[in-house]
Structure 1
Amino acid sequence: MTTTTRAAPGDLVAALRLPVWKTLSARAEGLRRELPTRPDAPAERFAWLRSLTPEQARDAALLDHLDALCGHLDGKPALGYAPDDPLPEAALEAAEGFNPQLTALITRFRAARDAESADRSARAEGP
Structure 2
Amino acid sequence: MANEIKINLNGTVQNGVLKDTITLGGEVLYDQATPGGPNPGSVSVGTSEQDISFAGLTSPAFVFLRNTDDTNFVKYGPKNGSNVMEELGRLRPGGFAFLELAPSVTLRMVSDTAVCLVLVQGYEL
Q: Give TM-score scaled by structure 1 length.
A: 0.21
* Structure-2-length-normalised TM-score: 0.21
Query: Which has the larger share of helix?
Result: 1
Query: Which structure would you say has the larger RCO, counting Cα contacts within 8 Å and 6 or more residues apart?
Result: 1
Higher radius of gyration, 1 or 2: 1
